Amino acid sequence: MDLGNSPSSSTTSSTTTTPNPAITAAATTTSDDPMHSWWESISKARSRIHSLSSILEHSSSSSLSLSSLADSDRPALSLLSSLDAYLSVSSALSSPLSGSGSDPLCHWLYDTFLSSDPHLRLVVCSFVPLLSGLYLSRIHSLPSDSPSLPSLAGFEAVLLALYAAETKARAGKPVVVSVPDLSQPSLYHTPRQRPNSSPGGGPSRNSVGVLAPPLEPQIAVKSTKRAAIVGVALDCYYKQISQMPAWSKLDFCRFAAAWAGQDCPCQEEFDGEPEITGFSEIRDLENGNRIDDVTEEITQLRIENGNDGGSSSNGDLGSKGSRIPLPWELFQPALRILGHCLLAPLNSQDVKDEAAFAVRRLYARASHDLVPQGILATRSLIQLDKRARADAKLAVAAANSSTSNANTPSKAKKPEILLVSK
């Protein structure tokens, strides 16, 4: 039935509603009032924290700590910077039965990320390394002849929410970078020009490199798009990595090392001089023999899948994940995150050491898989890490030398006697 020419439709379309000026002014005042916006953000964050506390109510200590976080002046940022809250959520996410479509914690992460509060979104982003590591390790840890895959619809819903947000942010455009003309002596010999024009009308000397192609909307996580979707989620994490807590970065470094899965001498190819690189103290990271300086409580964080052992060579999910396929869509964002963890000056030494170990593992993996761009990128990061460690060691030696010189007593000088004639 065509409703376009019906009398009712024409009458409805010709009817206009005059807005109430008082209501419009009140709504405008409310939206422009910074105090109202601040209180609304606080109330929303407290509501989300109380909701999370009810999900984790099986642990009385975690519920008590979460309740205290809700009473702070900045509850969302307090939740982000709370190690106890992170460990409680991580323990629940690491449960063997987590990740299903009915998982209340996945529902909480999904709903929280869809909120308009940027600080609440940061809380969800801090769990991206753990969620991605659990998801990929569980998917690829099952044997190929397994009759059915586990239900991980909850994990996939959160990853798709991150993917959709990044798709909207890119607006159908690729991520590009301007590459200068390498035939010139330096960057300063090429004037800044538009990408497609030059003073003579010819093409510009600068070329444009595509870092990432345009994103296509996805409504489900297909096996052919899985690595790309997780890679985009890691890109969202990388954009906010300067605000991420240290334990979240440590989680990613450990998963990245487990994803590489290569334990061979070639990963130590560039560390022939441990007394210079300072890398000898983290050779035993895989066996879990090292205690993090961030906090001793981070050692409580383990991925549980029926055992407490380390990474298994048979594909079982151990305490640090398992070896997985690493296409470039996943390899590239992983290297970006590791580059920050390795070289950012404000990172703790634990984060830098874990990142150094993961980068060397990925170099071994890229060497075995013959991935040229992966080999080049990981070798560059390893060389930068070695240089940074050597410079740090020289700086410490210089500081110690100056301190010892300052503490060395000097010989007292005899007082000068001036002879004055009368």
Residue 39 clears pLDDT 70, i.e. is over it: yes
Q: Where are the alpha helices (DSSP H) in 305-371?
A: 328-343, 349-369
Q: What is the pLDDT of residue 397?
A: 84
How does DSSP assign 90-137, residue by residue? HHHHTSTTTTSTT-HHHHHHHHHHTSS-HHHHHHHHTTHHHHHHHHHH
Which comes out higher in pLDDT, residue 282 or 321? 321
In angstroms and rounded to an integer, the radius of gyration of the C-alpha atoms of the chain is 28
Is residue 336 scored above 80 in pLDDT?
yes
d(CA 167, CA 250): 27
Confidence of residue 70 (pLDDT cuts 50, 70, 90): confident
This prediction's pTM:
0.74
Q: For CA atoms 378, 383, 388, 392, give the dihedral sign.
A: positive
Work out the average pLDDT over 283-292: 42
| CA proximity to 341, closest of 381, 297, 298 | 381
Tens digit of pLDDT for each residue in 101-118? 889 999 999 999 998 889
Length in residues, the chain: 422
Please, which residues have CB within 8 angstroms of residue 156's CB and are 6 or more apart in sequence? 135, 220, 221
pLDDT for the residue 310: 37
Given a cut of 80, whether residue 135 has pLDDT beyond it is yes
Residue 146 token pair: 């397994």
In DSSP terms, which residues pair with 318 in a beta bridge?
A: 321
What average pLDDT does the segment 339-347 reach? 93
State residue 410's pLDDT score.
Answer: 61
User: Rounded distance, CA 89 to CA 52, Å?
Assistant: 9
Where residue 406 falls among pLDDT bands split at 50, 70, 90? low
pLDDT at residue 2, as a whole number: 47
For the residues 105-132, what does the mean pLDDT come to? 94
Specify the DSSP class assigned to residue 239.
H
Mean pLDDT score, 275-283: 41
pLDDT score of 283 more than 50: no
56-61, long-range: CB < 8 A, 24+ apart: 56/88, 56/89, 56/92, 59/88, 59/91
Please say if the pLDDT value at position 214 is more than 90: no
Range of weakest confidence among 62-66, 115-119, 127-131, 291-295:
291-295
The yes-or-no verdict on residue 65 having pLDDT over 90 is no
